[in-house]
Chain A
Amino acid sequence: MTRLDPVLAAQRAARRREWLEKLTGMGFAFPATLLLVVMSLAPLAVLFVLSFTDYDLGNVDLRFIGLANFSKALADPVFRQSLWNTFVYVAIVLPLAVALGLLVAILVHGRKHTRSFYEVVYFLPVTSTLIAMAFVWTFLLHPKLGPINAFLGALGFPPLAFLSDPALVLPTLAVIGVWQLVGFNMVLFLAGLTAIPKDLYEAAEVDGCANPIDRFLTITWPLLGPTTMFVIVTTTITAFKVFDTVAVMTRGGPMGASDVILYSIYLEGFQYFHTAYAAALTVVFLVFILVFSVIQTLVLDRRTHYG
């Protein structure tokens, strides 16, 4: 009897396939897993360890000093100001970028012939290199040479030192942040608006809901809920990570008035090489980002499932 029992042979083949599938799966996932460990998880662990030490780049040894870096950060007026400035920046950018993105989306949504024109124009800042545009903004806002002050002068107003007046610098940077984000949010809202069935509006009209504001409040706004949630979270994260405009236009000045959290981390970690202290600041940054990111990931998960 050299022939195998067919049932046994099939079982063996199935087990072989299963074994092969496991092996293939692990093989396919291996490069990504390796990179995940080396580029994300291990650095994260090192970051946490560093934040409890007194390590400066170039030191030969390090001591564990417990929470000293964190208590220093909380007492450090420079860091406290950069944290506060970041919140103020987010508080200006978030409502403006969301509300204007929604407004533009609603106005553009109804256009037929001009829709693509407006889409291109408002989306342009998203694709352009922000660093290059930041230099252009610096020039636009120049107290003597800039056209904005020339325009204010023509209207009879005194020139404004947008970037060197401590009271003006954060709002000015925030407006540039809004300039960059409106088109992005517009496109997200447009996608949400397109998903709302047309007949709902017709039904509302039949029911005597003819006023555009009524229509907005009874149909558009509730149905846009998930989109709005998503836009709010992504805008918050982007605004919280503000760095480019600060690094190019103000370098945190005047007198720390535009210092933001990422710029502080950059200076401490990569200019002054206070590595351990910068690690502690990064942990603080991570805690804030994580709260927003977890919400974002949950929303993103839902969007890609049903969107």
Chain B
Amino acid sequence: MRKLASLVLIHAVLLAGAAFTLLPFVWMLATSIKPPDEIFTATLRLWPHRFAAGENFRLALTSAPLLRFALNGLIVCAGILVVQLLVAIPCAYALAKLRFPGRNTLFVLTLLALAIPVQVPALPLYIALAKLELLNTYFSMMVPFFLSVFAIFLLRQFFKGFPDDIIQAARLDGMSEFEIVWRIVAPSAWPAIAAFAVFSFVAHWNDLYWPLIVISDAKLAPPPLGMMFFADAETGSNYGALTAAATILTAPLVIAFLFARRQFIAGITMTGVK
């Protein structure tokens, strides 16, 4: 009996928290299918009298290039991730397995850089990009993130655990170091790479600060900045279209999360650094 009571209490607490957590999502979906007159009468109704999803989503999609924002997000995130891996994997391997001058200095600098968020070098980088006339380009959105010291740090830990015997055997077989990195060592760290990929993708899909600084051309905006442009435009007070837009721009990551829950949770939390 006491057990049942505590079980009820536990679920009551968890469900109350869950309801609060889901509130914005539920309200976003509910508003996106309501016609304006039902939005402007403050009620707690979720399902509308008149179903207006079609007009809200059509208005959202026609008054701003939402799909373009999503595509921009995809381009920027993919570009950043590819360069991050190309740069970090060989460096992590060198730090873990090769002896070369300056190795310890480089590792200490990596740790130092780990502690510096992008907002710190933002001013000098902005000045440099402005002088080079590179503002308002995909490149300017991606370039501060090409080096992920976190990826180097994480992969170095993984590579350190890779057996030296296998590397020696591969060397004796005549494999070059380049082949060893990309065909033997990197594939062995697949779980870490996948987790890092999720982390990187989520972080840059959702990043506002840096795109807000370097992008003023709406055609290049990634999802968060696009959302701001959208709200600043005339549709700003049309909550039906606004929530429809929010739904469209939130959906890709949320759907990906629902399908690959384990990888997402591993990716975002194994890092802990946001």
Q: Which residues of A contact B (CB under 8 A)?
A: 18, 21-29, 31-33, 35-36, 39-44, 46-47, 50, 57, 100, 103-104, 107-108, 110-111, 114, 116, 118-133, 135-137, 139-140, 142, 144-147, 149-151, 153-154, 179, 182-184, 187-188, 191, 230, 234, 237-238, 241, 243-244, 247-248, 262, 265-266, 269-270, 275, 278-279, 282, 285-286, 289-290, 293-294, 296-297, 300-301, 303-305
6 tightest CB-CB pairs across the interface, nearest first? A25-B100, A293-B115, A43-B121, A25-B98, A35-B147, A131-B224
B233 sits at the interface (CB 8 A): no
B35 sits at the interface (CB 8 A): no
Count residues on chain B whose CB falls below 8 Å from chain A CBs.
98
Looking at A118, A124, A282, A296, which has the most chain B CB atoms within 10 Å of its CB? A124
The contact of B27 among A127, A128, A147, A279, by CB within 8 Å, is: A147
B126 touches A100 (CB 8 A): no
Cα(A305)–Cα(B160), bound, Å: 10
Cα(A151)–Cα(B20), bound, Å: 14
Q: Kindly provide the distance from the CB of B17 to the nearest chain A CB, expressed in whole angstroms.
A: 6
Cα(A140)–Cα(B100), bound, Å: 58
A127 touches B264 (CB 8 A): yes
B147 touches A32 (CB 8 A): yes
Cα(A74)–Cα(B19), bound, Å: 43
B28 sits at the interface (CB 8 A): yes
| Residues of chain A lying within 8 A (CB to CB) of residue B14 | 104, 107-108, 114, 118
Q: Kindly provide the distance from the CB of A203 to the nearest chain B CB, expressed in whole angstroms.
A: 21
| Residues of chain B lying within 8 A (CB to CB) of residue A149 | 42
B121 touches A128 (CB 8 A): no
The residue in chain B whose Cβ has the minimal distance to the Cβ of A151 is B44
Q: Kindly provide the distance from the CB of B76 to the nearest chain A CB, expressed in whole angstroms.
A: 14
| Residues of chain A lying within 8 A (CB to CB) of residue B119 | 241, 262, 265, 282, 285
A28 touches B90 (CB 8 A): yes
| Residues of chain A lying within 8 A (CB to CB) of residue B111 | 297, 301
Cα(A140)–Cα(B120), bound, Å: 33
| Residues of chain A lying within 8 A (CB to CB) of residue B109 | 36, 41
The residue in chain A whose Cβ has the minimal distance to the Cβ of B157 is A304
Looking at A46, A103, A131, A154, which has the most chain B CB atoms within 10 Å of its CB? A131
B94 touches A25 (CB 8 A): yes
Q: Kindly provide the distance from the CB of A145 to the nearest chain B CB, expressed in whole angstroms.
A: 5
The contact of B90 among A31, A39, A146, by CB within 8 Å, is: A31
Looking at A21, A147, A289, which has the most chain B CB atoms within 10 Å of its CB? A147
Q: Kindly provide the distance from the CB of B24 to the nearest chain A CB, expressed in whole angstroms.
A: 5
The residue in chain B whose Cβ has the minimal distance to the Cβ of A23 is B100
| Residues of chain B lying within 8 A (CB to CB) of residue A296 | 115, 272-273
Cα(A95)–Cα(B253), bound, Å: 28
Question: What 15 new A-B contacts, CB under 8 Å, besides A179-B20, A265-B119?
Answer: A39-B125, A40-B149, A50-B123, A114-B14, A131-B224, A133-B246, A140-B27, A243-B208, A243-B209, A262-B119, A266-B212, A269-B123, A282-B123, A293-B115, A303-B272
Cα(A142)–Cα(B101), bound, Å: 61
Looking at B28, B115, B205, which has the most chain A CB atoms within 10 Å of its CB? B115
B268 sits at the interface (CB 8 A): yes
The contact of A150 among B44, B102, B116, B152, by CB within 8 Å, is: B44
The contact of A282 among B13, B120, B149, by CB within 8 Å, is: B120
| Residues of chain A lying within 8 A (CB to CB) of residue B181 | 28
